[in-house]
């Protein structure tokens, strides 16, 4: 399927599948593992309410990890020359990812900005959200997710700078363990001009974090 087609009407899952380069998801193996887990926690996987659960959970994991075995940065291959050499910023991109330590969700928003290079080459705004989405669909830590998004922009758009801020709540800190619901973690990754120029960085951060 052509990426252009998916851009207009494809879901993130279909999009990820179109980019798939590595192992396909092993549905039977995932189902068997979920069944084992249910047994391990003392449940009866054959009772009425749970009988379809291994298949359902496996499908959910397939979707949640659709960014594995793909190169998310590839979505930034679609660019066009707009001659725009000022800041482009997409903020409040909703984000759902999975903490690789506990395999539970962390969720929040990503703010992504870049200043196009001298050619003024830009990418479609939806592509920025797609990159966030695909890197999020992996077992992750927030710091790596943040850096991967910034590095993808630098690699594919050759911009003067890229800046990414992610604000998220980790359910592993809310529903278990330390149990601090509402605690929020902010991570940033700054590259290029945003690293060397405090003025550019603070302009972008101000636009990103202004309530």
Ligand X SMILES: Nc1nc2c(ncn2[C@@H]2O[C@H](COP(=O)(O)OP(=O)(O)OP(=O)(O)O)[C@@H](O)[C@H]2O)c(=O)[nH]1
Q: Binding site for Zn(2+): what residues are annotated?
A: 99, 102, 172
Q: Is residue 101 annotated as part of the catalytic site, yes or no?
A: yes
Q: Is residue 170 annotated as part of the catalytic site, yes or no?
A: yes
Catalytic position from the list 99, 111, 140, 148: 99
- Under the binding rule (CB under 6 A), the answer on residue 170 touching ligand X is yes
Task: Pick what 208 binds: ligand X, Zn ion, none; C-beta below 5 to 8 Å, kind-dependent.
Answer: none
Place of tokens 């991570």: 187
Q: How far apart are CA 194 and CA 158, in angstroms?
A: 14
**In the complex, least distance from residue 99 CB atom to ligand X, rounded to whole angstroms:** 4
Residue nearest to ligand X (CB): 177
- The 3-state DSSP class for residue 26 equals coil
Residue 189 near residue 146, CB atoms below 8 Å: yes
Q: Under rule CB under 6 A, which residues in 102-141 are in contact with ligand X?
A: 141
- Under the binding rule (CB under 6 A), the answer on residue 36 touching ligand X is no
Q: Is residue 100 annotated as part of the catalytic site, yes or no?
A: yes
- Under the binding rule (CB under 6 A), the answer on residue 177 touching ligand X is yes
Q: Is residue 99 annotated as part of the catalytic site, yes or no?
A: yes
Q: How far apart are CA 80 and CA 92, in angstroms?
A: 24
Q: Which is nearer to ligand X, 33 or 172 (CB)?
A: 172
The angle at the Cα of 203, spanning 198 to 208, to the nearest 5 degrees, equals: 125
- Under the binding rule (CB under 6 A), the answer on residue 143 touching ligand X is yes
17-23: Cβ within 8 A, 24+ apart: 17/66, 19/70, 19/71, 19/72, 19/74, 19/75, 19/134, 20/69, 20/70, 21/69, 21/70, 21/71, 22/68, 22/69, 22/70, 23/69
**In the complex, least distance from residue 103 CB atom to ligand X, rounded to whole angstroms:** 11
Q: Which is nearer to ligand X, 94 or 177 (CB)?
A: 177
Catalytic residues: 99-102, 142, 170, 172
């Amino acid at each position: 399927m052509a990426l252009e087609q998916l851009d207009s009407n494809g879901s993130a899952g279909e999009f990820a599948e179109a980019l798939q380069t590595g192992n396909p998801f092993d549905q039977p193996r995932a189902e068997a593992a979920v069944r084992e887990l249910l047994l391990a926690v003392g449940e009866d996987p054959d009772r009425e309410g749970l009988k379809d659960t291994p298949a359902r959970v496996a499908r959910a994991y397939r979707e949640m990890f659709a960014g594995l075995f793909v190169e998310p940065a590839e979505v930034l291959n679609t660019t066009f020359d707009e001659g725009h050499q000022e800041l482009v910023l997409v903020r409040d991109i909703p984000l759902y990812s999975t903490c690789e330590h506990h395999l539970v969700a962390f969720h929040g928003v990503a703010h992504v900005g870049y200043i196009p290079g001298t050619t003024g080459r830009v990418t479609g705004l939806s592509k920025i959200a797609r990159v966030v989405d695909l890197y999020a669909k992996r077992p992750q830590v927030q710091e790596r997710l943040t850096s991967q998004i910034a590095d993808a922009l630098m690699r594919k758009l050759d911009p003067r700078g890229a800046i990414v801020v992610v604000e998220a709540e980790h359910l592993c800190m809310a529903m278990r363990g330390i149990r601090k619901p509402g605690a929020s973690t902010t991570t940033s990754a700054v590259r290029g001009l945003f690293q060397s120029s405090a003025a550019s960085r603070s302009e972008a951060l101000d636009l990103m974090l202004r309530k």
